Structure 1
Amino acid sequence: MQFQKKVVAVLSWGLVVTWMALIFFLSAQHGEQSAGLSEGITEWVNEVVEQVVPAAEFQIDEISFFVRKNAHFFAYLLLAILTLNAVRRSGGRGWISMGVAFIVSVLYAISDEVHQLFVPGRSGQVSDVLLDSTGALAGIALYAIISRWLGRKRKTNNKKRAN
């Protein structure tokens, strides 16, 4: 059983590192490459919006900004969830594990923006770090809420089995 827990912890950290590598890869794309990726996603979002709300008139620039900023938010929401899970699987508990996950996520967001300073056509922005940090906080909150809900559900099921 102890070996199994160690394997799960290592795999959890592997997911964290893999997600960080994906963020790094996307941040290493030149400005033109990044804009091309964003344009493709923006066009897809625009098509979906037009199907859902045909009369809506959105400017493509508005959708592009929305897509780019939400990408930051959700990338770090997921990073924080993966990191908090890895910390918990490694034995961390309570507020300290949440603090560790938040600090790891924010430090990575800062390093990511510094990294972008060295990529042609990209820039590092403090506002993106703040957005990333907000995503990380949301991820930690979501993880905590779901964990609490699952814990209560487990207790209820155990009580039913005991009766």
Structure 2
Amino acid sequence: MKKYGYLSLCIVCMTAIFLFSAQNGDTSNNTSNFVITLLEQLFHLDIEKLSPSLLEMLSFVVRKCAHMSEYALLCILWVLYMKEAHFTKAYMLAYGLTVIYAVSDEIHQAFVPGRSAQLSDVCIDACGAAIGLLMICLWCRWRQRKYQTRAENSDHF
């Protein structure tokens, strides 16, 4: 994929994050509830039997997992773009840009009705970015070993 393809995917990902953050509190809760209903149907759960406090905790977990996932994806996309563009220190730069975007996203949420800026969300986003870095590092290492093994095997013939 051309380097601008990955950059475009970064922009699409950041736009999606921005749009989710622009949802007011009620709409955001409805989105979380939709995901919970989807999980209920996928795993044949009976969510109605859960206590209100347990249901609230489940909603919290869904929201925080969404935070981690979207920032893991954004960090992976930044790494792919920077590696294609031959940036030095691509991993550190990608992580830094992702965390900076997380901070700006929380500031943005402070101005959305029913939402607030949370330092804990920035920390969760940063953890998601770190997980994304770990995933892309492991994938790159696996891919390098795979091609190295393939090259070594072809030398024997």
TM-score for both structures, normalised by structure 1:
0.87
1:13-59 Cα distance to aligned partner (Å, 9 max, x none): 110011000000110111111111111111222344444x99x9572
Residue in structure 2 matched with residue 8 of structure 1 by the alignment: 2
Residue in structure 1 matched with residue 56 of structure 2 by the alignment: 61
2:76 is the alignment partner of 1:81? yes
1:162 Cα offset (Å)? 2.4
Give the AA of the match of 1:14.
S
Pairwise CA RMSD of aligned residues?
1.9
> What residue ranges of structure 2 are gaps of 5+ in the alignment?
none
Question: What secondary structure, in the 3-state scheme, does the structure 2 residue paired with 1:87 have?
Answer: helix
1:102-155 Cα distance to aligned partner (Å, 9 max, x none): 100000000000000111111110000000000001100110011011101101
Residue in structure 1 matched with residue 99 of structure 2 by the alignment: 106
Question: What secondary structure, in the 3-state scheme, does the structure 2 residue paired with 1:123 have?
Answer: coil
TM-score for both structures, normalised by structure 2:
0.90
2:53 is the alignment partner of 1:44? no
Count how many residue pairs are aligned between Structure 1 and Structure 2: 153
Residue in structure 1 matched with residue 14 of structure 2 by the alignment: 20
Residue in structure 2 matched with residue 141 of structure 1 by the alignment: 134
Distance 1:80 1:144 in 2: 11
**Deviating more after overlay: 148-157 vs 7-16:** 7-16
Residue in structure 2 matched with residue 154 of structure 1 by the alignment: 147
Question: What secondary structure, in the 3-state scheme, does the structure 2 residue paired with 1:108 have?
Answer: helix
Change (3 A) 1:155 1:12: same
Question: What secondary structure, in the 3-state scheme, does the structure 1 residue paired with 2:2 have?
Answer: helix
Equivalent pair of 1:46/1:63 in contact (CA under 8 Å): no
Distance 1:128 1:45 in 2: 23
1:70 to 51, 57, 65: 65
Distance 2:124 2:43 in 1: 24
Equivalent pair of 1:42/1:60 in contact (CA under 8 Å): no
Distance 1:71 1:137 in 2: 15
Q: Following TM superposition, where does structure 1 have runs of at least 4 consecutive aligned residues deviating by more than 3 angstroms? A: 46-51
> What residue ranges of structure 1 are gaps of 5+ in the alignment?
1-6
